[in-house]
Structure 1
């Protein structure tokens, strides 16, 4: 019987665990969040018997990795350190140290470029031994092949350090690391190998190009399609890893079907993703944090909109969506259609208030829109003028109160100098304009071909005064360095009222989970791994502020109407109801803590140890 994963007791005391991922100390996408957030729940159970392996890119590892000063200290009873020392003695460029994240796990980083002088031989071996082709003009593939070769060598040296009755587990994430698996099996290295695909490579390409991807999945000729999208080498690496591993896993029940039809192997286990919830928990202060960061969003909204027209911020709700720019896969198309319907419904209803919708994604741009920057600068000037008048009036009011025998409040306008009266008037005159607030904050490289902008133009979602849904398209990730929002992404999420993520293709989906972790209600879909998991495991998720749009076996129109209804119902909530809902969301976050979800990994490791 397996130990409970929320307890810190030692797991599999006779085993070593090496977890290999391309995004160890190398933030590229969602796998980075998976690996990094899981570490604090993994280290207590495995301790010094756990090690992570990734590629060494100095510019990426710079702020995340700290090398051990003296490697000799880490060789006597440390099989990973001994393996690194042996490789160094053979002339390999290998780093050993700790990842500077919660849990401080041991990390081995291997420079893939050191094996480039052997690429011809390695590519020839891949083709002859495993039937995997590799073109000459793809540098990512070259890095992957070189890293796979060096990882194989590292595993051989670790296996040589394994003591009698000890066993070695190797857990590989995604196709970029899986190229080592078939070679480890060919060499009969004594290691129990697991491979996890977080999203099949071919599945992502097909979903982006086929609006009926799920209906056509069982008829896909994987080899023809891989050649069509020019990804045959990577797809064959993924298939070789899936078939060569002792245990094959994926992250959601949705991707199980993908694996069956595109990789021809039924996954042995599903490993749902979690978060290290403690990183986000602020005990009883999370409502205060919402107010604090909402005030910062207010500042942006005032600068962006109030130069043209004003509205009541107390009756304004902030919705947002975010993620990689995949217009169809991420459900941006469905979100925009539902927002257009919501805008019309709100206009017809006569209800007070409005919605400001933020689209946060990444697109090529030339600069921040100068008009947006100017609006922010002018509002700052208005603010400074008001603060100067406030200081002057405050000082004079205090003197008048102390000297007066009258208890009545004096005329405050008489306490302002003519200079500040004139400055106030001129500042406001230069501030106000009749132009519409921009719908986008940056100048895109090619805005005529941008699907989000083109939908806004067609639907006339252009921030007219009468629009009740206002649009802010921010084609860059949120950061404290930005002169517009000036906060971290997590702070921005806390300041919003609702996250909207009705994805069409999303093997897991961290964005709604990150909302839940911060006490913010979120909309997901039953075509995302997270949404599917919620429907399977949580009774009445709506009561916990998690809403799931049905997209399986539904038309686009039906799903858009359901999403519009969800947002409409949210708009109808009063302040007290929204506070209660945020409390319910925050209290449910623990369900997705790695301390509870790590048990799925434990079971997969137990299964791998049973297989030879």
Structure 2
């Protein structure tokens, strides 16, 4: 694609709740994209996040008190803005503005009134995190305007980029108060689409029959849907991360995205060569050691290690399908190799388990590495019990449920997720609702073959760009999934895992090589151009908008 040199930004501001705030997948998107943006727009890229860690400090933020000190002092004295400036502690070390936005709550009602009168954003039925997100978003817009005017950027090409509905009011604030700044809005998943899927309604077969506003009322999401829809409709460039979410957006937000901006990945920290082999060996030993401790018996040295991870969205992430696939696999009489499956899904936990034998008795043989609050209501434990996964020594398929964030201090593994992912033999992510799908993407980046579905953005991309053979033969298997073929998907996964147990070391190494080759085509060096296209489109559309006569 061609990027018009006349429509290249001089400054880029990008705001998100997950800047220097590791919450979910958007953190991965922005923190890995930062290095590529720094290379393209050196020191002219400013990330904006919430200042949530006053003490003992933010591990992802490196404060530089002299950086833009004059502007920061001016903004504090004359505008009441509390801003810390520094660097994001990720590759590229981009400049970051962290905002304390508490003072904006005093103006909340007037801000919501302003948003209604100017853009018809309906905040009346707001609840949950809507207020906090909106006040941060509005503050982000004010901070961008402050920097823009203090440094006299009126003659520059400036982009203000906002992520997810949480930052919508920032985009709308800029549209009204600094119209010369070109705005970009990225939705990583539509709120209504996620809610429809999460509530067990058929999203895909019935998509054309849904009205976003009507579903927002039905699902009690009027405020969040309103800000997401209005932001999508008013910005200069609207983007989303996959063709799947683009279809949702067109139907539910009533604007088709201008650009698809798929999520890349920065592979610089993935070990290579001897370092990779050592890391994989250490990870496998750690996984097996924990499994043996919780199972109460030895795991065979050639056991197949399988894993699933992600947010605890039981249906949307395909956790239910994964368990059903394991149930089918263990019933295959021809299965001659042990399979140990790790369900690495964070839940509401109390503490690490000290005595695994007591927990096995408590959960009828189901192995859980951490004590759970309200264990009787945990869907994963409940379904494993219902299906009779007793994890006996004679069982070919064993399951270890790890309901903790793997951040290095979980009390059981005490290492991060990537240091365990590298030890798996194969991963499975049979998602029902997955706008992109960093988990399968990360898996192939670490040379771990993966199984995903056609309802994951990454799966759709892989189908177009590399997944041309059946099964796992090219390192990734993309299974067709729709609203009604749950059991067929489970069966196909079970067959694929069984086939994997029959592969030789040389065949497995070839699959790992092909997985890594596919991931090489999905890194930021290939995908950053889509953001450049979005910036160019935003600038073009802003010029057109500004050239129109005022009404």
Whether TM-score is above 0.5 comes out as yes
Distance in 2 between residues matched to 1:583 and 1:285, nearest whole Å: 16
Deviations 1:181-201 (A, max 9, x none): 223223353111111000001
Aligned partner (choices 305, 308, 322) of residue 309 of structure 2:
322
Contact map agreement 1:506 1:528 (CA 8 A) in 2:
yes
1:228-247 paired onto structure 2 within 5 Å? 228-247=218-237
- Indicate the residue corresponding to 2:15 in structure 1: 20
Aligned partner (choices 60, 64, 68) of residue 68 of structure 1:
64
Aligned partner (choices 582, 588, 591) of residue 521 of structure 2:
591
- Indicate the residue corresponding to 2:432 in structure 1: 504
Residue 394 of structure 2 aligns to a residue whose secondary structure is coil
445-454 or 351-360: which moved more? Answer: 445-454
User: Residues 583, 289 of structure 1: CA spacing in aligned structure 2 closer, same or farther, 3 A cutoff?
Assistant: farther
326-335 or 439-448: which moved more? Answer: 439-448
Q: CA deviation at 1:553?
A: 6.8
Residue 587 of structure 1 aligns to a residue whose secondary structure is helix
Aligned partner (choices 23, 29, 32) of residue 37 of structure 1:
32
- Indicate the residue corresponding to 2:168 in structure 1: 178
Aligned partner (choices 68, 74, 87) of residue 75 of structure 2:
87
Aligned partner (choices 131, 145, 148) of residue 156 of structure 1:
145
Equivalenced residue count is: 536
Contact map agreement 1:66 1:100 (CA 8 A) in 2:
yes
Residue 455 of structure 2 aligns to a residue whose secondary structure is coil
- Indicate the residue corresponding to 2:44 in structure 1: 49
325-334 or 478-487: which moved more? Answer: 478-487
Structure 2 gap ranges (5+): 543-551
- Indicate the residue corresponding to 1:310 in structure 2: 298
Structure 1 gap ranges (5+): 5-9, 76-80, 377-432
Distance in 2 between residues matched to 1:365 and 1:342, nearest whole Å: 29
1:3-402 paired onto structure 2 within 5 Å? 15-59=10-54, 62-71=58-67, 74=68, 82=71, 84-90=72-78, 91-135=80-124, 138=127, 140-160=129-149, 161-163=151-153, 165-305=155-295, 307=296, 309-312=297-300, 314-345=301-332, 348-349=333-334, 351-372=335-356
Structure with greater Cα Rg: 1
Distance in 1 between residues matched to 2:148 and 2:254, nearest whole Å: 30
The normalised TM-score by structure 2 is 0.91
Distance in 2 between residues matched to 1:335 and 1:242, nearest whole Å: 35
More helix by share: 1
Q: CA deviation at 1:568?
A: 1.4
Residue 41 of structure 2 aligns to a residue whose secondary structure is helix
Contact map agreement 2:316 2:432 (CA 8 A) in 1:
yes
- Indicate the residue corresponding to 2:548 in structure 1: none
Distance in 1 between residues matched to 2:184 and 2:364, nearest whole Å: 55
Contact map agreement 1:159 1:191 (CA 8 A) in 2:
no
Deviations 1:79-136 (A, max 9, x none): xx74x44322313211122112111101111111121221222122223332223348
Residue 481 of structure 2 aligns to a residue whose secondary structure is coil
Q: CA deviation at 1:284?
A: 4.8
Distance in 1 between residues matched to 2:94 and 2:178, nearest whole Å: 28
Deviations 1:448-483 (A, max 9, x none): 222222221222122123321101111112243233
User: Residues 136, 238 of structure 1: CA spacing in aligned structure 2 closer, same or farther, 3 A cutoff?
Assistant: closer
- Indicate the residue corresponding to 1:387 in structure 2: none
Contact map agreement 1:436 1:464 (CA 8 A) in 2:
no
User: Residues 359, 553 of structure 1: CA spacing in aligned structure 2 closer, same or farther, 3 A cutoff?
Assistant: closer
Residue 504 of structure 1 aligns to a residue whose secondary structure is coil
163-172 or 592-601: which moved more? Answer: 163-172
- Indicate the residue corresponding to 1:442 in structure 2: 370
Distance in 2 between residues matched to 1:253 and 1:538, nearest whole Å: 17
The normalised TM-score by structure 1 is 0.82
361-370 or 257-266: which moved more? Answer: 361-370
User: Residues 533, 521 of structure 1: CA spacing in aligned structure 2 closer, same or farther, 3 A cutoff?
Assistant: same
- Indicate the residue corresponding to 1:388 in structure 2: none
Residue 225 of structure 2 aligns to a residue whose secondary structure is helix
Aligned CA-pair RMSD: 2.6
